[in-house]
Amino acid sequence: MPFFAPIGLAVETREGGRFKTAYDTAMQAAFEKRKALRRRRAYSFATLVDFFGENASKIADKFLEIVVDEVSHVWFFHTQVSAVNTPFIYSRGKKRALPPLDYMKLHSQSYPSWCAWLWSREAGRPSTAILLDAFQGAETNAWNELKLHRPLVFHKGDEVNPLISTADVLLARAGEALKDRSLRDSVIEKVLEDMGFPGTSMFIGQPHYRDITEISPLPISIRDYVYHPMMFILHEDRPRGVDWDEWDRQRFLAEVTDVPVNSAFDNNTGFKAFDLDQDGTLLNPRKDLIFLYGPDGEAKKEKLKTLYRIDEANFREIV
């Protein structure tokens, strides 16, 4: 029967700079093999699908076939909760109760932090840098333990960071292979092995409820863990009548976004469309670069300069 099972994946490499070069080479070779135009330096699997449709899986598989030699290990995380054995998941000191399916869906954006927390606890590699795709969620014991390792968080990490992008692409392809099979450790590890990747399956669930459930309604602040300089873009205002999520995706896929996204890849940092109402606390006005374009760009630039005292040199115009 249909079921909901959050999954995640971590990729380990021994040397980040070497992996970035290998990633770039593998991605270029995969595009050349399919005779596709590579507009961006890095891709999530979802963006490959948006740009290349049915060719996306072929590009992804060729890329993974080449980059595999630079991956020292893979960890695959999965969660399944029996609604019979666990009718409710309690959080906030048992002050809040939700059916397990509702809880997992509500907190799916927290899942990267759960995975990184379990890896940091079980893998025993205290000197390894932890790179995370940006996530949201309420405060948990897991995050309070993980943050002691000083993880680096990348906005749009799966679109700009070689390791996070590789993890996203591999997760999508492994997930496709697993979707009609049981999520048992032996099955998962066999799928990864068949793809050429040495891997370990890790279950997140009932034994970890104390750590992964909310301990307060306060949202996790990732501001202090974001790597700077960030790359921001000032987009034109959303047209009337256009759905916000649809508009957000359309503008991310637009050619005008290629420049700051590629700049984020080159500078080993994250990318975000600047939100005038929310991103003031995230912005580092001395380090971050802000890209602008179109008739509204100059006006928004002047507003930001006034609000945050950003130097002229920190702006870039896309022409």
pLDDT in tens, 248-296: 999 999 999 999 999 999 999 999 999 988 899 999 999 999 999 988 8
pLDDT band at 105 (very low <50, low <70, confident <90, very high): confident
Q: What is the dihedral of CA 172, 173, 178, 180, to 10 degrees?
A: 90
By C-alpha distance, which of 264, 308, 307 is closest to 286? 308
What value does the mean pLDDT take over residues 52-73?
97
Distance (Å, whole) CA 58 – CA 62: 6
CA–CA distance, 202 with 185 (Å, rounded to integer): 7
pLDDT at 125 over 90: no
**pLDDT tens digits, one per residue of 204-238:** 988 998 999 999 988 999 999 998 999 999 988 88
Residues 6+ apart with CB under 8 A from 274: 232, 233, 234, 235, 283, 290, 304
Which residue has 């799916």 as its token pair? 108
Please confirm whether the linkage preceding 229 is cis (ω < 30° from 0): yes
Residue 246: which residues within 8 A CB-CB, separation 6 or more? none
Nearest C-alpha neighbor of 210 from the set 141, 144, 114, 147:
141
| Token representation of residue 184 | 């048992």
Residue 3 has pLDDT above 70, yes or no: no
Q: How many CB atoms lie within 10 A of CB 76?
A: 26
pLDDT above 80 for 136? yes
CA–CA distances in Å: residue 269 to residues 63, 134, 253, 260, 264: 22, 12, 19, 11, 5
Predicted confidence band at 75 (pLDDT cuts at 50, 70, 90)?
very high
When comparing pLDDT for 228 and 107, which is higher? 228
- Nearest partner of 259 among 165, 134, 166, 160, judged by Cα: 160
Most confident of 2-6, 105-109, 239-243, 247-251: 247-251
Average pLDDT in the 296-301 region?
88
Give the rounded percent of residues in the chain with a pLDDT score beyond 90: 76
Give yes or no for a contact between 301 and 274, defined as CB atoms under 8 angstroms apart: no
Tell me if residue 233 falls in helix, strand or coil.
strand
Q: Write the CB contacts of 143 (distance below 8 Å, at least 6 apart in sequence).
A: 113, 117, 137, 220
Say how many residues make up the chain.
319
pLDDT at 83 over 80: no
pLDDT of residue 175 exceeding 80: yes
- For the residues 98-113, what does the mean pLDDT come to? 87
**Taking 60 as the threshold, does the pLDDT of residue 2 lie above it?**
no
The per-residue pLDDT for 18 is 96
Beta bridge partners of 11: 74
- pTM comes to 0.93
pLDDT surpasses 90 at 126: no
Q: How far apart are CA 136 and CA 155, in angstroms?
A: 11
